[in-house]
Homo-oligomer: A and B are copies of this chain.
Amino acid sequence: MNLFYVENITGSTAVMSEMESRHCVKSMRLRNGDSIRCTDGNGFLYDGVLVEDNPKACVIAIRQQTAMPPELPFHLHIAVAATKNPDRLEWFVEKAVEIGVTEISIIRCAHSEKESVKTDRMERLMIAAMKQSLRFRLPAFHPAIELQALVQQYAPLHDWQKFIAYCGEENDKQELISLAAPQTNSLILIGPEGDFSPDEVVMAQQSGFRTVTFGSMRLRTETAALYACCQMHFINELKKK
Q: What residues of chain A have their CB less than 8 Å away from a CB belonging to chain B?
A: 71, 91, 95, 98-100, 132-134, 175, 177-178, 215-220, 223, 226-227, 230-231, 234, 237-238, 241
Q: Is the CB of B177 within 8 A of A95?
A: no
Given contacts A91-B91, A178-B241, A241-B178, contact A98 B219 (CB under 8 A): yes
Q: How far is the CA of A178 from the CA of B237 in the complex (A)?
A: 9
B177, B217, B237: the one within 8 Å of A215 (CB): B237
Q: What residues on B are CB-neighbors of A91 within 8 Å?
A: 91
Given contacts A98-B220, A100-B217, A217-B98, contact A177 B234 (CB under 8 A): yes
B99, B175, B177: the one within 8 Å of A227 (CB): B99
Q: How far is the CA of A217 from the CA of B230 in the complex (A)?
A: 12
Q: Is the CB of A175 within 8 A of B132?
A: no
Q: How far is the CA of A24 from the CA of B80 in the complex (A)?
A: 30
Q: Is the CB of A220 within 8 A of B71?
A: no
Given contacts A99-B223, A217-B98, A227-B230, contact A238 B237 (CB under 8 A): no
Q: How far is the CA of A218 from the CA of B1 in the complex (A)?
A: 11
Q: What residues on B are CB-neighbors of A99 within 8 Å?
A: 217, 219, 223, 227
Q: How far is the CA of A175 from the CA of B240 in the complex (A)?
A: 12
Q: What residues on B are CB-neighbors of A238 within 8 Å?
A: 177, 238
Q: What residues on B are CB-neighbors of A219 within 8 Å?
A: 98-99, 133
Q: Closest residue to A217 on the B side, CB-wise?
A: B133
Q: Is the CB of B95 within 8 A of A223?
A: yes
Q: How far is the CA of A91 from the CA of B220 in the complex (A)?
A: 13
Q: What residues on B are CB-neighbors of A237 within 8 Å?
A: 175, 177-178, 215
Q: What residues on B are CB-neighbors of A220 within 8 Å?
A: 98, 132-133
Q: What residues on B are CB-neighbors of A98 within 8 Å?
A: 217, 219-220, 223
Q: Is the CB of B218 within 8 A of A133?
A: yes
Q: How far is the CA of A97 from the CA of B178 in the complex (A)?
A: 23
Given contacts A132-B218, A218-B133, A219-B133, contact A234 B241 (CB under 8 A): no
- Shortest distance between the CB of A194 and any CB in chain B (Å): 14
- Shortest distance between the CB of A106 and any CB in chain B (Å): 20
Q: What residues on B are CB-neighbors of A230 within 8 Å?
A: 227, 230-231, 234
